[in-house]
Amino acid sequence: MLEKAENEILTLRKVLPSDLDAVARYRVEFLEKGGSMDGCSNLRRYDDMNEWYDWIQKVEHRETCPEHWVPDTQYISVRRSDGRLIGMLDIRKELNEDLLNFYGNIGYSIRHSERRKGYATMQLKLAKEICRNMGMKKILISCYKENPASAKIILRSGGVLENEVVDQRNGKILQRYWITL
């Protein structure tokens, strides 16, 4: 069960068309500051937010999901006090071989200007509740070994390191954690 504080500070919800300007600003912040836009459903590739929104609608459903993808639901974390988009997170209820071996059920990020404030831990707690409500019993989540801040968030959220693997896309070491819900 969620602590009251997470629900009072952040809300984790699906993206709405009215969020697209905020999503565009989130994207620009990442492009300017650098870093990986994990949990953003390929946002980096889209200059047109309406096209990105069409994409996330398409990949959410098995019937419209591309053959090589699994259904993926996109969420945003919004600070309740001012409506600011703080982070993004996607949940994949099922895993294909690539996701099972490397990337897991959840990808997430927090905008650069809002890091080191506890939001990532709150966001992951809220995501765990959504996963429970989806009927999931455990989730796989990974991070690069060079990202100890993310590893701490995962460990704080109940993650148990299963192993380390080499990401074939870039040669970096990925740490794979399981969280029992």
pTM (2 decimals)? Answer: 0.92
Model pLDDT for residues 83-127, shown as the tens digit of each residue: 999 999 999 999 999 999 999 999 999 999 999 999 999 999 999
pLDDT > 60? residue 3: no
CATH classification code of 4-134:
3.40.630.30
Domain ranges of the chain: 4-134
Model pLDDT for residues 151-163, shown as the tens digit of each residue: 999 999 999 999 9
Three-class SS of 73-98 = EEEEEEECCCCCEEEEEEECCCCCHH
